[in-house]
């Protein structure tokens, strides 16, 4: 108990401010979530990205480059849903939590015997399905303070009791009738759960919203476009990169970059992966494409779509912003993961943010200030821009591939990358051991023909026809798995794949890197890219590979279930080459290699191999 004041001899009040401060600190500590502490124990996989910084790296090393070839299936679990399975399972202690695409089932599974402790299946209106772009995926649940957080397709955010599955609270974060849906995982930082919105192809207005983890009360909301107050931007203090230095964004920075009220349909959706730096108290995320896909209908830079934001977690106020693709003409959403790592750039150690954008450029930023440090192509096929001007931060567009300059009803051919980017949301991994980034990539080009489109709430607002195909004059495949040096902006090695690598990667202290393929293979390579092992799972892999330890044994888990944008043709039965915004034609050969599915496959070493492997992280401690 804290004594806040007492009576002085003269009858006045003596105030005990130190006690009050301690009380406030104690209350804040109780309010914050336990997830950061849980991520520091490698036995858990407590966040979708493994930790706050989006590293997707594990200190576990029982499975290593010497014995990974002996991996075998430990157990499997069917989600009961046959659509695209993105994200992956969480593991906290002796429990595993796994999700499905629509209708967004959640299962709590006991690791001891793989029994289902509880199941949650929300009741959602199936009318939400046709409003979802690029399949009915969900990127996973979040955990904090005994709660499981699920962001449903119909924009309902729900907190469940992790022990029973009972609803604790739920809140509506959007309106599907306007084209708003949600596919992202919720992100828990301190005492807040953050979530975004999908629907850039329906003319929605993107935003990031923070809720109290205990009550579901909205704490702040930051829009991607519009007036400064709506975006939580301070014209004099929010900074942006210009003329080789950070400068204030100025008043009405978004409004001035749109024609009339187009910002109200401006897109800039927020369905990707967020990260958080506790020392700086900054949350980082990206915004998506401006609406419509026809650039002639929205002149200007269309701020702040296609932007990396750094915001104060407590207030939501933007500290800095960096727009990667001003006046986007190709649907190069900027929502991909922001990886926080300390990287040496030009001989100096920097606190950086590393981002592999859909536009094909790998960015290394100073995450404290927002300064642009490196911007280089991470796929050799990229041709829509020659380079990024390091003073302005603007890509230098090649006129031949400018869909705006070429005009409406003109087919711009041979644009690389395709609209799904040199990398979509499938997250990369940063190895704390090697200092390299392991990146699943697309090696895909397109023909892009914009046309005029009218806005109707809840109806597609795209305005472009696409066809996709493998990058020409290359290995003939649609993907590569690469290792990247973020300090120099160079590819260290590249492993070609027949199809795009659409799974999230995982690197470990055992000198093994894991990734999945659209044909359904889970692959293990060493840190030099040499293939050590592969296993064909029941369906194509668009999920993320996670790892954990239970009773002294390391496990690797991955969801397989073909779908997502790349697999939408197979998942939804689309056959025209332009269906699925061009993906149905580009990935038509997938049907020769895999089928629909929905299975969690868990791998481990045989008992003898595990006993003879390296010591576990727990034993090392």
Q: What is the pLDDT of residues 223-269, one digit of tens each?
A: 999 999 999 999 999 999 999 999 999 999 999 999 999 999 999 99
Provide the CA 418 distance to its chain's centre, in angstroms.
19
Does pLDDT of 362 surpass 60? yes
Rounded Cα distance between 141 and 555, Å, is: 19
> Which pLDDT belongs to residue 33?
87
For the whole prediction, is pTM greater than 0.85?
yes
- Banded pLDDT at 611 (limits 50, 70, 90): low
Mean of the pLDDT values across residues 115-124?
A: 97
Could you give the angle at the alpha carbon of 277 between the alpha carbons of 55 and 422, nearest 5°?
A: 45
Report helix, strand or coil for 131. Answer: helix
> Which pLDDT belongs to residue 446?
98
> Looking at 277, 301, 331, 485, which residue is catalytic?
331
Of the candidates 450, 73, 427, 145, which has an alpha carbon nearest to the alpha carbon of residue 297?
450
Share of the chain above pLDDT 70, in %: 93
What is the rounded end-to-end Cα distance, in angstroms, of the chain?
Answer: 37
Token code pair at residue 365 = 């930023």
Share of the chain above pLDDT 90, in %: 92
Does pLDDT of 537 surpass 90? yes
Mean of the pLDDT values across residues 133-155?
A: 97
Length of the chain: 621
The secondary structure element, H or E, covering residue 235 is: none
Mean of the pLDDT values across residues 352-381?
A: 98
Percent helix, strand and coil across the chain, each to the nearest 5: 15, 35, 50
> Which pLDDT belongs to residue 609?
74
- Banded pLDDT at 613 (limits 50, 70, 90): low
The secondary structure element, H or E, covering residue 584 is: helix 583-586
Of the candidates 114, 67, 68, which has an alpha carbon nearest to the alpha carbon of residue 89?
114
Instruction: Indicate the average pLDDT of the chain.
Output: 94
Are 305 and 205 a contacting pair, CB within 8 Å?
A: no
Choose between 555 and 609: higher pLDDT. 555
Does pLDDT of 387 surpass 90? yes
Please confirm, yes or no, whether 331 is among the known catalytic residues: yes
> Which pLDDT belongs to residue 32?
85
Does pLDDT of 109 surpass 70? yes
Please give the CATH architecture assigned to the domain spanning 38-620: 8 Propeller (2.140)
- Reported as a single tens digit per residue, the pLDDT across 460-499 is 999 999 999 999 999 999 999 999 999 999 999 999 999 9
> Which pLDDT belongs to residue 437?
98
> Which pLDDT belongs to residue 4?
33
- Reported as a single tens digit per residue, the pLDDT across 267-301 is 999 999 999 999 999 999 999 999 999 999 999 99
- Reported as a single tens digit per residue, the pLDDT across 11-28 is 343 333 334 333 443 444
Token code pair at residue 191 = 């005492």
Does pLDDT of 171 surpass 90? yes
> Which pLDDT belongs to residue 95?
98
Does pLDDT of 6 surpass 50? no
Report helix, strand or coil for 23. Answer: helix
Mean of the pLDDT values across residues 416-433?
A: 98
> Which pLDDT belongs to residue 13?
35
């Amino acid at each position: 108990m804290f004594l806040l004041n007492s009576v002085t001899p003269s009858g006045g009040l003596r105030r005990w401010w130190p006690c009050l401060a301690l009380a406030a600190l104690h209350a804040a500590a109780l309010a914050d979530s336990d997830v950061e502490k849980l991520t520091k124990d490698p036995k858990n996989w407590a966040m979708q990205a493994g930790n706050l910084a989006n590293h997707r790296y594990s200190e576990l090393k029982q499975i290593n480059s010497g014995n990974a070839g002996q991996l075998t299936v430990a157990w499997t679990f069917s989600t009961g849903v046959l659509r695209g399975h993105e994200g992956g399972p969480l593991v906290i202690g002796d429990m595993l939590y796994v999700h499905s695409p629509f209708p967004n089932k959640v299962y709590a599974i006991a690791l001891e015997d793989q029994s289902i402790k509880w199941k949650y299946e929300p009741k959602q209106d199936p009318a939400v399905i046709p409003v979802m772009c690029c399949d009915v995926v969900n990127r996973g649940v979040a955990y904090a303070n005994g709660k499981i957080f699920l962001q449903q397709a119909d924009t309902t955010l729900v907190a469940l009791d992790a022990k029973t599955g009972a609803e604790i609270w739920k809140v509506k974060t959007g309106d599907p009738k306007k084209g708003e849906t949600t596919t992202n995982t919720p992100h828990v930082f301190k005492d807040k759960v953050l979530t975004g919105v999908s629907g850039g192809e329906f003319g929605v207005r993107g935003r990031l919203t923070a809720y109290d983890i205990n009550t579901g009360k909205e704490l702040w909301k930051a829009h991607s476009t519009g007036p400064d107050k709506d975006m939580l931007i301070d014209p004099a203090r929010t900074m942006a990169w210009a003329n080789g230095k950070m400068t204030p964004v100025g008043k009405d920075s978004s409004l001035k970059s749109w024609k009339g009220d187009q910002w109200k349909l401006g897109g800039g959706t927020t369905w990707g992966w967020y990260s958080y730096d506790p020392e700086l108290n900054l949350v980082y995320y990206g915004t998506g494409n401006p609406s419509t896909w026809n650039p002639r209908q929205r002149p200007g830079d269309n701020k702040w779509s296609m932007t990396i934001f750094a915001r104060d977690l407590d207030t939501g106020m933007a500290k800095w912003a960096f727009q990667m693709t001003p006046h986007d003409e190709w649907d190069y959403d900027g929502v991909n993961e922001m990886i926080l790592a300390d990287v040496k750039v030009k001989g100096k150690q920097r606190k950086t943010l590393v981002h592999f954008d859909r536009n094909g450029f790998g960015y290394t930023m100073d995450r404290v200030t927002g300064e642009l440090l490196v911007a280089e192509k991470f796929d050799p096929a990229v041709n829509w821009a020659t380079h990024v001007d390091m003073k302005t931060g603007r890509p230098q567009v090649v006129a031949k591939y400018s869909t705006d300059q070429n005009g409406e009803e003109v087919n711009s051919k041979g644009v690389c990358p395709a609209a799904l980017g040199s990398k979509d949301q499938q997250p990369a991994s940063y190895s704390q051991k090697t200092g390299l980034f392991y990146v699943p990539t697309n090696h895909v080009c397109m023909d892009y023909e914009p046309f005029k489109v009218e806005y109707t709430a809840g109806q597609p607002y795209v305005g472009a026809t696409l066809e996709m195909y493998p990058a020409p004059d290359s290995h003939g495949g649609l993907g590569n798995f690469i290792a990247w040096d973020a300090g120099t902006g160079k590819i260290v090695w590249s492993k070609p794949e027949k199809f795009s690598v659409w799974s999230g990667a995982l690197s470990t202290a055992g000198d093994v890197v894991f990734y999945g393929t659209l044909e359904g293979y889970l692959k293990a390579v060493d840190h030099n890219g040499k293939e050590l092992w592969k296993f064909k799972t029941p369906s194509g892999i668009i999920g993320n590979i996670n790892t954990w330890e239970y009773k002294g044994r390391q496990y690797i888990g991955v969801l397989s279930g073909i779908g997502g944008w790349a697999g939408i043709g197979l998942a939804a039965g689309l056959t025209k080459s332009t269906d699925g915004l061009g993906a149905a034609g580009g990935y038509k050969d997938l049907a020769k290699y895999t089928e629909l599915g929905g299975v969690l496959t868990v791998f481990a070493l045989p008992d003898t191999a595990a006993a003879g492997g390296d010591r576990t992280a727990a034993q090392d401690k």
